[in-house]
Chains A and B, each alone.
Chain A
């Protein structure tokens, strides 16, 4: 029982950043914009959150910084792909290249003079576990109710995002823009503005996902802190079939892989660490293959029809 609780605890903690970012990218892709810049945005989110927390001592300010930086980078993507009609794949890749480079640069520049201006190896304020009375003392359930505040917020975000997408007028407009921008345009929806809004909003959430890494999951700044999580999120969006309610399953699967990896390493197995570390990446490929195969069989996965296609509103 203890082993189950401890694996579940780590699973949820590892899955938190994945869920926030997955919901963010679902919103973006629902507007028909594919953002492959997540890895870079998450990296910058992690960096700015830690730098802000370290210098101001305020966790609220740290979250704000990560959200603002995430939104700003996503705004660049929106400008390039919506206004300038650039290729979404290449624009996203360039955001990732730029974001990872800038994070690495700033990580060696924003630290205190005493640490040679580096942020590596410092510790700052972090989100600690807040146990919920009674529920946090029950067996197994305590892994859910003995988490940090960001995780609780994310558990609320999942139903909210689902409700917004499927039960509100704004959600309907968003889905219609992703499915058929011409029809949405004809209905009087401002397609470009919708795409901007949800790309930026999605980036904001992805930035917060990065913040959870540097403020709670692995507190502190380290080069390559995201370790490909931004890319895994792109696969999780497919896994969730663009539905926020399902975002949790993929995140739990990958969080679970992290947790098992962690336990095995701690227990000291004969399997080389490199092979254990391959698991999330191999699992991503497996998930992709399965989902794509299933999509062709059942034809009801639900990728927004206009995903990745620039909308040209020529004349009216």
Chain B
């Protein structure tokens, strides 16, 4: 008798729901152990987190404020991951878009009609995100340079570049040394819905639908799927692999860029320190937990945002480090990854076959 793994043609539907749920519960259990080790009551902590994230309408709008950039960056990350393009540069793409949108909002108001200032700031922001993502995309498709490291290194470069602006030439002269630019003119403010939650939410929800449609109901989406599962097969089918990868990664960067443009035009109304607070990394968890399905990204983003907001709350109320939220999020991924064995493979017990086929290598592309 031997255990035998068979790659599934498509992921098991039941496992698709059970694995993320079980992972969330496992993460709660692991976090409880950590809290118990420090003699903190886990039940009280989780209750405080829940109350902090969903306890009132105001709390819920704050959860949405964090969920919006998460949804947008996760959509971007998921799109790139579909192609096995490991874009872990969402953070940098978000920051560069924030910089570009701020540039429009601060310096274009003299010669651009007021009504166009906001749309232009957002469009230029998206373009900057796409441009920042184009560097690893082109390096990968033309020279086969590993995109993981390039996207990651560009995060640091983008954050330092933004730093140099609001500590340097863009610093608000009336800001009493505060590291930030002057506030944007009101025409460049993205309208809010309730509390600080803004219309970026509508963008995110609409784009999730659009992306789902693109990936699942169009010829292009079908081509991307083939490229993702085997670039060799895609080439054989006559699909322009390089062009499609670049196009998808540009779109991925633009989505992450939209998150950054919304952050500066709707929340801070200026470029300031604290734009890069890790949304681009949490997006990786969201994308993976959503199994790269755009429709799942909205609810998962709200859950992850709730953990972040809840983490801040327990810091204020119980004096626990807010990094607890980060620890919890990290812990969700481990059982998720372990669970992929059950979603992607069928496990069978089989009697050893005499003269069976040679052991094959899986996933070699």
Assess whether B324 is interfacial by the CB under 8 Å rule.
yes
Contact of B337 among A86, A234, A235, A315 (CB under 8 A): A86
Size category, B interface: 35 or more
In whole angstroms, what is the CA distance A182 to B143 when docked? Answer: 30
CB within 8 Å for A97 and B284 given contacts A85-B341, A282-B153, A289-B143: yes
**Residue interface mask A112-127, B partner, CB < 8 A = 1:** 0000000000000000
Interface residues of B in 21-44 (CB under 8 A from A): 34, 38
Smallest CB-CB separation from A116: which chain B residue?
A: B319
Q: Is the CB of A98 within 8 A of B330?
A: yes
A161 at the binding interface (Cβ < 8 Å): no
Is A253 in the interface zone, CB < 8 Å from B? Answer: no
CA A234 to CA B358, docked complex, whole Å: 33
Cβ–Cβ contact B337 & A312, under 8 A: no
Q: Are B333 and A314 in contact (CB under 8 A)?
A: no
Contact (Cβ within 8 A) A185 B359: yes
The yes or no answer to A108 lying at the interface (CB within 8 A) is yes
Contact of A97 with B161 at beta-carbon distance under 8 Å, contacts A109-B38, A234-B149, A315-B2 already known: no
Asked if A176 lies at the interface with its beta carbon under 8 angstroms from chain B, I say no
Contact A293-B334, Cβ < 8 Å, known A84-B340, A310-B362: no
Contact yes or no, B149 A80, CB < 8 A: no
Chain A residues positioned under 8 Å from B153 (CB to CB): 228, 231, 281-282, 284-285
**Residues in chain B near residue A105, CB distance under 8 A:** 34, 321, 323-324, 326-327
Task: Please measure, in the bound complex, the distance between the C-alpha atom of A281 and the C-alpha atom of B363, giving whole angstroms.
Answer: 31
Q: Is the CB of B330 within 8 A of A182?
A: no
Question: Quick one: which of A89, A281, A312, A315 contacts B86, CB cutoff 8 A?
Answer: A89
A76 and B330 alpha carbons, distance in the complex (Å)? 13
Any chain B CB within 8 A of the CB of A147? no
Please, which residues of chain B bring their CB within 8 A of the CB of A100? Answer: 326
Closest to B332 in A: A94
Contact in complex: B161, A292 (CB < 8 Å) = no
A 212-240 binary contact with B (CB < 8 Å = 1; else 0): 00000000000000001001001100100
Tell me the complex Cα distance, A272–B163, Å. 10
- Which residues of B from 303 to 334 have beta carbons under 8 Å from A? 321, 323-324, 326-327, 329-331, 333-334
Return the contact of B359 from the options A94, A104, A296, A312 (Cβ within 8 A): A312
B120 touches A (CB below 8 Å) = no
A189 at the interface (CB under 8 A from B): no
A271, closest chain B residue (CB): B164
Q: Which residues of A contact B149 (CB under 8 A)?
A: 231, 234-235, 284-285, 288
B116 near A: Cβ within 8 Å?
A: no
Q: How far is the CA of A274 from the CA of B353 in the complex (A)?
A: 63
- Contact mask A15-45 → B, CB, 8 Å, 1/0? 0000000000000000000001000000000
Q: How far is the CA of A311 from the CA of B167 in the complex (A)?
A: 50
CB of B330 within 8 A of CB of A102, answer: yes
Q: For residue B338, which residues in chain A have a CB less than 8 angstroms away from its CB? A: 79-80, 84, 86
A139 adjacent to chain B (CB < 8 Å) = no
Q: Could you say which interface size class chain A belongs to?
A: 35 or more
Known contacts A36-B148, A93-B88, A315 near B167 by CB under 8 Å: no
Which of A93, A108, A234 is close to B284, meaning CB atoms less than 8 Å apart?
Answer: A93
Instruction: Point out the residues of chain B lying under 8 angstroms from A274, CB to CB.
Output: 160-161, 163-164, 167-168
Q: Which of A86, A272, A315 contacts B341 (CB 8 A)?
A: A86
Q: How many Å lie between the Cα of A157 and that of B161 in the bound state?
A: 38
Q: Mark B139-169, 1 if CB is under 8 A from A, else 0.
A: 1000111101110111011001101100110
B1 to chain A, nearest CB (A): 11
Do the beta carbons of A275 and B361 come within 8 Å of each other? no
Residues of B within 8 A of A99 (CB): 330
Bound CA span A89–B330, Å: 15
Per-position 1/0 for B92-127, Cβ under 8 A of A: 000000000000000000000000000000000000
In the bound complex, residues from chain A placing their C-beta under 8 Å from that of B154 are 281, 285
Check if B360 sits within 8 Å of A312, measured CB to CB: yes
Contacts of A292 in B (CB 8 A): 143-146
Shortest distance from the beta carbon of B86 to any chain A beta carbon, whole Å: 5
A267 located at the interface, meaning its Cβ lies under 8 Å from any Cβ of chain B in the complex: no
Please state if A101 and B144 are interface contacts (CB–CB under 8 Å).
Answer: no
Q: Is A90 part of the binding interface, using a Cβ–Cβ cutoff of 8 Å?
A: yes
* Any B CB within 8 A of the CB of A309: yes
Is A277 engaged at the interface, CB distance under 8 Å to the other chain?
A: yes
A315 to B358 alpha-carbon distance, docked (Å): 8
* B146 engages A288 (CB within 8 Å): yes
Provide the residues of chain A in CB contact with B38, threshold 8 Å. 109
Chain B proximity of A269: nearest CB distance (Å)? 14
The 5 lowest CB-CB distance pairs between A and B, nearest first, are A98-B330, A101-B326, A94-B333, A274-B164, A86-B337
A–B complex contacts, Cβ < 8 Å, 21 sampled: A76-B334, A84-B341, A85-B362, A86-B337, A86-B340, A94-B333, A97-B329, A102-B323, A105-B321, A231-B152, A231-B153, A274-B163, A281-B154, A282-B153, A288-B150, A289-B139, A293-B143, A312-B5, A314-B5, A315-B353, A316-B352
Given A89-B86, A315-B352, 11 other A-B residues pairs in contact with their CB atoms under 8 A? A94-B334, A94-B337, A101-B329, A102-B323, A105-B321, A105-B323, A182-B359, A272-B167, A275-B160, A293-B143, A312-B360
